[in-house]
Structures are given as C-alpha cells and as structure tokens.
DNA sequence: AAGCTTCATGTAATCCTTTTCAATGGCTTT
DNA sequence: AAAGCCATTGAAAAGGATTACATGAAGCTT
C-alpha cells in the first residue's frame, strides 16, 4: 500500500485537511507547515492525482488530437501546446487520428471519460461538418483546420491569402502553367484550393487542381501522371510539406530540373527545407503563435463559456529559395 | 452535475454494481445487460476514469520521456509507443526534457503522482548515472540511451557496431581522414564514439572526435571551425540527424562539394534524407522495432517484477546514398 | 468584561467507481 | 424433500484526496 495523505498527517500530528492545505497553499501556520513538510520529505509522499481529480472535479488535462504527430506541423504544434500546458500545471493527452473519423469518434469518447478541461483539435473534414451541429461536453479549439466560424473557437493560417501569395510569386518569376496539388482530407486543402483559384483567375492564368491523400507517395504518383501528358506545367504548388517532398521526388524521377524546368513551392518551413534540392520555397506557418493562440482561446473560453466563438487567422511568411529562383541559366544558391 | 453510474443504475432499475459489471464484462444476465446498455445509450453516460483509476489502483497510463519530440527519432518513437499503448487500452503521457536533468527530476515526480504503470525513457547522461543506484516506484525501460546493463531494462541500437559500419564504409570509398562529431548529452554519443575509435584504430586511420550540443547550429559551428584548419578532413560522421544537417549546412557555407571534397554520413533515415544534397548516407534505426520492443519489455516486467534486467540491442541498416558515393568526377544520383 | 471578528485547525461528507461479501433463487443430487 | 451448488444480484466498504462546516482561541471594539 502506498503512502497516503493519512500517513503524512499522522506522522506530522495534524489532520489530513492541514496536509491538503499545505499542498494548496491554504492557511496554515508556519509551524505546522514545517512539520508537515518534514513528514512529506520523510515519507516520500506523493499526492494521488486520480483522487485529487475525482474530488476536485478538475482534470487539469487537455486533449490534443491531430492526424499524425509525425507530420512536421503537428510535431511542432504538439511541442508548443505541451510547453504551454505544463507551464500552467496541465497535462496533455495526445491522439493520432490518421485522418479517420472513426478514430476521432473513439478518441472523443476517451476525452469525455478523462473529463478533459478542453480539446485542441485538427479535425478531418467529415468531423468538421458534424461539429457544426453537435455540441461537446468540453470546450474545443480547432487548429489548422477551421471551416467557417461556427460554434467553436479556431485558429488557422490565412490559407487563402498564403496560397495566393505563392501563385503570385510563381507568376512573378514568369510561370504561367501552375498546377495545384491538394490533400483530400482537410478543410485546409479546400481553403488553399480556393486561394489558388482566386489568384490564378485574377492573374488570368489557367488553373488545374489535383486532390490526393496527404502523403509523399500519393503526391509523387499524381505528379508523375500529370507530367506524363504532353502539355507540361512549369510550376507546382503543393498543399503540404509531405506532398512537396513527393513533388521533389517526382521531379528527380522525371529528370526535370528545378527551377529551370519546373518551379515548385509549398507549405511549412523545416530545418531541411533549405537543403533539399536548390532549397524549397515555402510559406512558413507561425506554429508557435498558432499553438499559443489556441491555448489562449481555450483559457478564455473556460473563463467565458457563453462568449461568442472566435476565429483567429494568422498570416504566413513567404520564404523564397532556389526552387523558385528566376531562370537565369544558373542554379542559384539558397536564399534566406 | 454529470451523469454517474448511479443515474444509469436507477434508470435501468438495477444496482450500480451491475452497471459496473456490464462495463467489465462480469457475470450479468443477458436481460439485465440489455436494460443497462439501453440506459447507457439513453443517458449518454461515460465512466469517470479518475474514479475508476482511484478505486482499481490501475492507472493504465505509461510515461514517455524524451529530450524533444521534434527530434525525428523521438517523433517516430512516440508514434509507435502511442499506437501500442492505445491498442492495449493504455494512454501515454509525453514529456520533453530538453536534455535537462532538472526537468527530468520534475517529470519523474509527476510520473509518481500519476501512478504510471511504467515509464519509457531516453535519459540524459547525468540521470543515467544516478539511475544505476536509485530505484523508482514504477518499472522503467530505457530507450535509445541504455548504458551498461544495470537494474533497468533497455533497448538500444547497436551504436558501436553501427558507427563502425559507417567508418568502414567511408574507408571503402577511399577516405582516410574521417572526423567524428558527437552530442555531449547522451550515452548514445559515447557508444558511437567508442565504435568510431575502434573502427578507425582497426583500420589504422587517424581519429579526431568533437563533442557539441546536439543541434544543427552547434554542429555547423564546430565543423566550420574544424574545416578552417589547413589539414582538411575528407570524411565526416555525425552522430545524429540534426547534427548531420548542420554538417551539410557547413559544407554549403564552405562551398565544398559532397562527396567529392568531403564524404558525409550520419544517423536516422527520414523522408527527406534522400533529397538533401546528393542524398544522405545514413544508418537507419529500426524505430518501430525499438518502440515495440520497449513496450514488450515493459509488459514483461509487469508480469515478472523480479526477473533480471534485460538489455536488447538492435542492429541498424546502412543506406548508401550520394553523400558517400565513390568519387568518379560525377555527382551520382541517389541510390536506395 | 461581554460580544464580535478573524484565523487556524479538525471532523466528516463527498467525488465516482470497483470490489468484497452476503443473499437469493433455481437446479441438481441423493 | 432436504441439502448442496452455482450463477446472479445488491448492499456497502474502500480507494485518497478536497472542502463545507464546526470549533476554539486570540485579538479587537465599546
């Protein structure tokens, strides 16, 4: 049997209430406080968090539900969320949904059973639709994938704007046949597609969009197919980091040069982005800000459960590198 | 007030014990079981995990403590561990220690308070030493960083062997001045250093090792310094993924060609490893196997707490790419 | 000096389950 | 038909903390 608060109380010659108050910085005389602290040190007592949570009805736990922690954006996000959470004395439960609504449903049930204080969630498109009507027994902040401002708070990149920026950039370096490659599971992809359409239209460019599973392999396969046609594009925009890698692989397979034959650009800046090929042009997402803002929205929501839902959009930053350098006959060095 | 097991019992016209038995597949007549299940569905009841844990004394929780989830090896590891855990009805608490022993100590205390079933841990060197004497109130499986087989189970790469493989490979393509770059916080780096020393010695090669913080920036700085000397190495082995990236960056800065001027190789295979420069030669760690083995060791330990500690070593796989292609005057295509 | 407030402390109820133990009722056995 | 057994079921204890409420002492006011 482990040491409980009773043992500490007995040893210090006080009631359990006093021991509890020492932990919660309640009113305790310096003398008793010291006796209790000695007893804690002597016994090696550690409070039982399950008991504490049960009685206090505060789980001090937040859920984080993403498609796959291995996706760089989510990796970075989880790190920020955990830092912020631990800083305010909360724990994080991480769930990988693999873009499956079934798993999302299962994990939502788990979140309920854990009585989480709140949930930070990048939902699939399917769940996002259902969320519009349904209420959950805990506050939710959507990240990365927001949809229209509904009943839940959300914080997302300005995807429309960001994608338009990429299109304009490719246009500025002289590309006119720019295709877009988008994921088929997230609302993010939809927003980026719309931005792509708007920008190509406003520039009077042709547009052609492809939707595939959000993986390097699927992207590579699709691009190989697209580029096997006679009328080759001269620019590609990929809607995620992994898909961008797929595009690069396809270019290698096709022995096409970047940026001379095809300029390519995408999303998310990573340590290795400047080292792949001639350096990859990307929109950098402010992951740190996104994560912190999500936590802020969540805490605000806890304070004011009835306040209207907020949708926060953050802007991305274009980082131009060799993969979209103007063609000069010479492969440029990467640019920061 | 949320719905509790009492409400369900009342609605189904049974005792709370019966409801509990329905959840734990205890002996309940089909008739009552159905009534209870109807009541559960009607009320939307979800068991309270804190209460369950408190009473049953099983937290069904395992801790995972790593330096930084953003480090690719740990990202992959965490994904495997979580999958395995959820599969057997457990949940995971993830902690980032940032290589700080203070944070490790803090999180260890948290693990105690959570009454974790077990801990999977990549400890810093400092903690590893302390672990040799100290016991913890829950079983621990060390991953990635094991030290000598002590009182705790561990599963690690055969780092000695793996590094020797890299040295022999560089030697085979004609390199003789091979320097090693190692992290200064983990035992892994020590093992790799020893493998490096043994291999260079057995081949009659000179050896020179550098120890830096395990980051791309520190690695880049150190390499710039090393290569500013007159007698330039012709091969570099980096002890981690991030450090390998630092080496690549340094090469770019120095305008040295890979592999013509300097051959480079390192650890961990990632999606982008084949796309950086001419493709990076690496030792691929069997992350999946490592994670699953860690879980197996943990579950075995729970069944047999007194059994002697086990140290499992898994072998890495050499993946040769352009960064160590034999010099032919031509930059090779990446090879799988 | 009586009465009131304030503060530290203890007692006991409470949070929600699981689990032990006793009771019930239907069968089988002799 | 009495005894014994098995399978279900319910009542109540237990798990370890927090917290509402009661208590008592000390300090202050008038």
pLDDT tens per residue, range A109-164: 999 999 999 999 999 999 999 998 888 999 999 999 987 878 899 999 999 999 99
DSSP string, B94-130: EEE-TT-HHHHHHHHHHHHHHT-SEEEE---HHHHHH
**Which of A90, A241, A255, A272 is the best substitution to test chain B (most B C-beta atoms within 10 A)?**
A272
Among residues A64, A105, A135, A136, which one has the least CA distance to residue A294?
A64
The answer to whether A334 contacts chain B (CB < 8 Å) is yes
Fold match flag (B5-47 vs B61-153+288-307): no
CA of A113: nucleotide with nearest C1': C16
Beta carbon of B49 within 7 Å of strand D? no
A270 contact residues in B (CB cutoff 8 A): 272
Checking if the pLDDT of A177 tops 80, the result is yes
Does pLDDT of B206 surpass 50?
Answer: yes
Quick one: average pLDDT of B311-324? Answer: 97
Q: What is the pLDDT of residue A148?
A: 82
Q: Which residue of B has its CA nearest to A138?
A: B2
Q: How confident is the model at residue B327 (pLDDT cuts 50, 70, 90)?
A: confident
Strand partners, A154: A142, A311
What is the rounded average pLDDT of the residues A213-238?
95
A98: pLDDT strictly greater than 90? yes
Number of Cβ within 10 Å of residue A58's Cβ equals 11
Q: With contacts defined as CB-CB under 8 Å, which chain A residues touch B2? A: 115, 137
Contacts of A75 in chain B (CB under 8 A): 69-70, 75
Q: Give residues 260 to 319 of B whose Cβ lies within 8 Å of A.
A: 270-272, 274-277
Give the Cβ contact number of residue A27 at 10 Å: 7
Listing from the earlier edge strand, what are the strands of the sheet with B208-212?
B208-212, B178-183, B235-238, B263-267, B281-284, B317-319
Is the Cβ atom of A184 within 7 Å of strand C at any atom?
no
Contact between the CB of B15 and strand D at under 7 Å: yes
Nearest 5°: phi and psi at B194? -65, -40
Task: Say whether A49 and B115 touch across the interface (CB within 8 A).
Answer: yes
- Strand D close to A6 by CB, under 7 A: yes
A155, two tokens: 């914080």
**A5-47 fold:** 434 Repressor (Amino-terminal Domain) (1.10.260)
* A68 and B CB contact within 8 Å: yes
Dihedral sign for Cα atoms in the order B141, B143, B145, B148: positive
Give the pLDDT confidence score for residue A20 in this predicted structure.
97
Distance CA B46, CA A246 (A): 43
Give yes or no for CB of A53 within 7 Å of strand D: no
Q: Is B36 within 8 Å of chain A by CB? A: no
What confidence score (pLDDT) does residue A335 get? 45
Mean pLDDT confidence for B54-62: 97
Q: What are phi and psi of A95, to 5 degrees?
A: -130, 135
Place A209 in a pLDDT band, splitting at 50, 70 and 90.
very high
* Cβ-Cβ contacts under 8 Å, B76 against chain A: 70
Q: Is the CB of A29 under 7 A from strand D?
A: no
In this complex, do B54 and A75 lie within 8 Å of one another by their Cβ atoms?
no
From the Cβ of A4, is strand D under 7 Å away? yes
Given the candidates 3.20.20.70, 3.60.20.30, 3.40.640.10, 3.40.50.2300, the CATH classification of the domain at A61-157+286-314 is 3.40.50.2300
| pLDDT for residue A147 | 78
- B48 in contact with A at a CB cutoff of 8 Å? yes
Question: Which of B47, B51, B72, B94 to mutate to probe the A interface, most A CBs <10 Å?
Answer: B94
A46 chain-B contacts, CB cut-off 8 A: 109, 112-113
Interface mutation vs chain A, best among B48, B218, B243, most A CBs within 10 Å: B48
Within 7 Å: CB of A57 and strand C? yes
Chain-chain contact of B248 with A275 (C-beta, under 8 angstroms): yes
DSSP SS3 for B193: helix
Domain ranges of chain B: 5-47, 61-153+288-307, 159-285+318-324
CATH architecture of B159-285+318-324: 3-Layer(aba) Sandwich (3.40)
pLDDT greater than 70 at residue B334: no
What is the per-residue pLDDT for A111?
Answer: 98
CA angle B302, B306, B309 (to 5 degrees): 85
**Any B CB within 8 A of A135 CB:** no
| pLDDT (mean) for A170-192 | 95
CA distance A205 to chain B (A): 31
- Mean pLDDT over each residue of chain A, to the nearest integer: 94
Assign B142 to helix, strand or coil: strand
Distance of residue B1 Cα from the nearest chain A Cα, in angstroms: 10
What's phi and psi for A91, nearest 5 deg? -105, 165
Cβ contacts of A230 within 8 Å, gap of 6 or more: none
pLDDT above 70 covers a percentage of chain A that reads: 97
Output the pLDDT for position B332.
Answer: 46
Q: What is the pLDDT of residue B331?
A: 46
Average pLDDT, chain B: 94
Quote the pLDDT of residue A328: 64
* Domain B61-153+288-307: CATH architecture, name and number where available: 3-Layer(aba) Sandwich (3.40)
| Residue B170 tokens, joined | 């560089």
Phi, psi for A138 (deg, rounded to 5): -150, 155
In the prediction, which pLDDT does B289 show? 98
d(C-alpha B21, C-alpha B40), whole Å? 13
Say yes or no: Cβ of B50 under 7 A from any atom of strand D: no
Q: How confident is the model at residue B1 (pLDDT cuts 50, 70, 90)?
A: low
pLDDT category of residue A1 using cuts at 50, 70 and 90: low
Whether the pLDDT of residue A303 is over 60: the answer is yes
pLDDT for position A326 = 86
Could B96 and A112 be called an inter-chain contact, meaning their C-beta atoms sit closer than 8 Å? Answer: no
Give pLDDT, residue A334: 47
What percent of chain B clears pLDDT 90, i.e. is strictly above it?
92
**Residue B329 confidence (pLDDT) above 60:** no
Tens of pLDDT, residues B120-134: 999 999 999 999 888
């Amino acid at each position: 049997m482990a040491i409980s608060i009773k043992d500490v109380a007995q040893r210090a010659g006080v009631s359990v209430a006093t021991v509890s108050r020492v932990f919660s910085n309640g009113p305790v005389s310096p003398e008793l406080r010291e006796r209790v602290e000695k007893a804690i040190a002597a016994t090696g007592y550690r409070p039982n968090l399950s008991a504490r949570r049960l009685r206090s009805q505060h789980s001090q736990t937040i859920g984080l539900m993403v498609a796959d922690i291995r996706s760089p954006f989510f990796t970075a996000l989880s790190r920020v969320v955990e830092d912020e959470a631990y800083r305010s004395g909360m724990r994080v439960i991480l769930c990988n949904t693999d873009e499956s609504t079934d798993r999302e449903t299962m994990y939502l049930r788990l979140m309920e059973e854990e009585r989480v204080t709140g949930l930070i969630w990048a939902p699939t498109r399917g769940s996002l639709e259902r969320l519009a009507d349904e209420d959950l027994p805990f506050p939710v902040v959507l990240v990365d994938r927001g949809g229209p401002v509904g009943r839940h708070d959300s914080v997302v990149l300005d995807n429309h704007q960001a994608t338009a920026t990429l299109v304009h950039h490719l246009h500025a370096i002289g590309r006119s046949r720019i295709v877009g490659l988008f994921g088929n599971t997230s609302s993010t992809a939809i927003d980026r597609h719309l931005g792509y359409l708007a920008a190509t239209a406003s520039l009077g460019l042709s547009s052609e969009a492809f939707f595939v599973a959000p993986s390097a392999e699927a992207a590579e396969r699709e691009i190989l197919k697209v580029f096997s046609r006679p009328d080759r594009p001269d620019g590609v925009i990929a809607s995620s980091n992994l898909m961008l890698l797929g595009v690069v692989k396809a270019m290698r397979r096709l022995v096409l040069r970047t940026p001379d034959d095809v300029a390519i650009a995408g999303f998310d800046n990573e340590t290795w982005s400047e080292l792949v090929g001639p350096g990859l042009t990307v929109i950098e997402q402010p992951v740190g800000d996104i994560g912190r803002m999500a936590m802020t929205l969540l805490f605000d929501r806890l304070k004011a459960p009835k306040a209207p839902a907020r949708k926060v959009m953050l802007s991305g930053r274009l980082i131009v590198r060799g993969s979209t350098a103007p063609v000069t006959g010479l492969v440029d060095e990467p640019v920061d």
